[in-house]
Each structure stands twice: as structure tokens, then as C-alpha cells.
Amino acid sequence: MKSPKSIADLTTLGRVRLSKNFFMREMLYSEVSNFCNVPNVPEDADLAIEAGRQFCELILEPLRSAFGHVAVRSAYRSGKCNGHCHELFKTGDTAAWCLDNEYNAARHTWDRRDAAGFLGATATLVIPSYIGYYEQTNDWKPLGWWIRDHLPQHDEVLFFRNLCAFNIRWYEGEGEKPIYFLDPPIEDHLTKKGMPNFTGDHSELYAGVMGQLEKA
């Protein structure tokens, strides 16, 4: 598919079905793009679709099957949109929390391979069915352990305080698969490759919680 050059092209891109329940259109939404009038449009639509399909099939669909509705907060970012967001962040606008374009290649910028030549995709998600439990307990770790056991294709998983939102990445390379919580200055690591708790079954750490959740 050619990169969008018109509203009709962008509409066609938005209708691309990435998996059973997810379409490209919801992956393109960006507050920065809307507010700052910076287009969030892929330069390489085919590469963005390829990464998006892997991400949706291997990450989003299993999450949806287990927890019900998955809210996508931020997914694809074009180089222009991410670069603009990063400039805002450098001026002190903490709401525009974007790292630079080099870092986000094969992360939020799905249509750019990283320096090693690998493809990847990151999105910021919220699990509505988990919010009630999180608000009562402030405990993000059961969800982190569930991801470790059930999503073998995940790479980095980074949790945030607000709504227990988290960044999760699919990556075709070999990452360390860290799972951690970030609320500066707090950085709480759950696990990653090389830690004794990385392998094995962790179901005792989340099975009881799963029974308390109501799928949205």
C-alpha cells in the first residue's frame, strides 16, 4: 500500500484490518497530532501494517481474550509527530512524554526499523477490567506476571501510575524483556532476562486476581 497522500488514501489505510478485532485507524490517534496539527501518517504504510499485524495478533488479541476490551492510548507515531512531541518534552511539557526518533524506531514508530535492522511496535494500553482492582490495591504486578507467562512475544513492558496504563512492545529481535514500573524517581523492576524469577510459572501471583475481574 502506498503512503497516504490524500484523505481517501488515509481512509483506506485506516480500514486495514490488523487482526480480528483491531484496525489501523485506532492506532493512528494522537493528541499531539490533533492539538499541534502535526500529521501522524506513516511514511512507509506497508511496514507500519506489517508491524501492526504482528503487534495485534501476538499482543492485543491475547490481552483482549483474557481481559475483555483493551483501550489503546497511544500506538503508532510518525517521525514528524514523535519528533515534535519530543521537542515539547525537552521544553518541559511533561504531558508530551516522547523520547527521540532514534529511540522510538521499531517502538512507537512502527515504520522505521531500529539500528540493528529489526522491526517492532509499541503501544500504550489500558485494561478497563483491571482498573477497579488497581484502584483498590495500587498493585500492577499481577498484570505484569500474567503478561510474562502468556505473551512470549512481548519485549519491554513499562507500567505507569495513572490507570495502570502500560507500554508494551512486540519486537522481532532479541530483547531483555524487562517488565517494570516507572513513576519518577521510582523505578521498580519486576523481571527481565537474567533475573532468577524470569523463567517458570508465575500463575500463583495472578490467578486469584483474574477471578476478581469483570471483562469490559
Average pLDDT rounded to a whole number, residues 183-197: 91
Residue 155 pLDDT greater than 90, yes or no: yes
- For the chain, the structural domain boundaries read 7-210
Q: Which of 154, 41, 144, 161 is nearest to 107 (CA)?
A: 154
The residues facing 159 across adjacent strands are 166, 181
For 59-107, how does the pLDDT look when each residue is reduced to its tens digit (9 = 90+)?
A: 999 999 999 999 999 999 998 887 878 787 667 656 667 778 888 899 9
CA pair distance 216, 88, nearest whole angstrom: 34
Confirm if 193 and 177 have CB atoms less than 8 A apart: yes
pLDDT mean across residues, the chain = 91
Q: What is the pLDDT of residue 95?
A: 63
Contact by Cβ (8 Å): 86, 102 = no
Radius of gyration of the chain (CA): 17
7: phi then psi, degrees, rounded to nearest 5? -60, -40
Q: What is the DSSP string of 80-104?
A: HHHHHHHHHHHTT-TTS----HHHH
Residue 204: pLDDT band (50, 70, 90) is: very high
Q: What is the pLDDT of residue 200?
A: 95
pLDDT of 159 above 80: yes
Question: Sheet harboring 166-171: ordered strands across?
Answer: 71-74, 120-126, 166-171, 154-159, 179-183, 186-191
Quick one: pLDDT at residue 185?
81
